[in-house]
Structure 1
């Protein structure tokens, strides 16, 4: 099967590849054409997932289709952007009809859930790798960035933390667990729901934001650096699911929440005056700390003692000691 036949058969005919709001021209030409309303800015992000690094080499292709787009769409959520479209660069070691069919179905399901249209991409032969570029729009001046946190703000997250880190040993077959514990953790690992609606609700309210991909401690460091402030995390306030605590115990769940990757939950700073309104509107806002003068990120126990761990999160190019 040639490249163009592969694209036509498995991707171009999918529901998510049909023109929609904001898409003037999709798959089939040298470039896609997107329409952005006057007064909006275009938000763009690219994510690459590599077999054996970001997911097991042998994975359910349907679930992989969901995950590969969800992690990219999460970047749009963190910026407060409304989703528009995405491209897929797919590198395959071989063409297998059953794999492609299942992957395309999972991809289409997540695209429909997120409101993203597939508008192009590329296919090549090589080790399995999935690269998504997502496009969204946001009113000029209202994009959520990492650089606006202010001393006195609350540090918040948009959901329970650590579920993907808890699921990883299950995904890798290193342990097993009862269905009532494993199912919600595995669901979050393979299909993390991008917090797109929350991101849009935070426009004009949150002062800084990002999505947690490498661990809460590590990623909060990016806000602290960009905003030139210090972030103080409180151990007792970490939101933890019952399934994660049941699998790992309280201490293990806290470690997963602090340093585990792949949460794809929004972390953001918020003026205290905005908290009650967001909670009253039903938004999932969990206060986990505050913004202070200084630099860096610290973790404190109930008595206020600094217990910041040395390991803060995942790094692709960490130097070995």
Structure 2
């Protein structure tokens, strides 16, 4: 019996080592796989915000590291603040293990200042260890888009993982909202999952959070920004036109005193057994998180049919012998 118990305990320890775990050291979060810290916060700070905008990109970065760590039930909570000239931006991260290898985080920004803070860019930045890692972005970038590079590397997103490259897109453009990085040499992969969301206090009318990667020397950062996008070494451009990237700049926000903004994301870290397989696990995780197949969330057929009938009746127009039919637009919006 003792040998059996020891064997079970040994197997359990091996399984735990094979699953990613969250640790906090020196008030900084670490995502550990097989006793190796693979994902960390950038050296300059756990939290970063940009308070300037110049040449179509974020400037005047300010960084901070948590000063408090609390444990509340299953949540690990990091607290701190970013001191600015006209007030304090209170920061809070709340981490919880959703399942083995998958950590949920809710980042909270709260502005307690004398006046509206603008221009401002909020961020999530997590550093993944590894050189020239491959990236997978559903519907956008498949392991660098090597074939697309031969066709038109100016308009088609291309990425090789070399230092200085970046690929950042609006988060609602992802058909499955996650970004994956694969380290083929050390046989592990990591993914950041997110919930697409528009930006509160945005300068532009249709401004969403963005998600992507920025490559450095020996690492790549997962990034979530409150608006800025870019790819192929061009800042503030969108792949929205057929022949050339479209300029999409001034994607910062204004934050009034007392405003609170939260951004939810998940970190997944796991081993892989062969090159090119890193995308598989986060695909299934994304399905589990967002449940696009859950028909119970949607109206039943009779409700849909009744709604469409009411809508059609609201668009019916009849001008006697001149015209009759269903109008394309709501007649209440007519100018004449």
TM-score range, shorter chain: under 0.3
**Bigger relative contact order, structure 1 or 2 (CA pairs below 8 A, ≥6 apart):** 1
* TM norm structure 2: 0.26
Relative to total residues, which structure has the larger strand share, 1 or 2? 2
Relative to total residues, which structure has the larger helix share, 1 or 2? 1
* TM norm structure 1: 0.27
In our comparison, the structure showing a higher alpha carbon Rg is 2
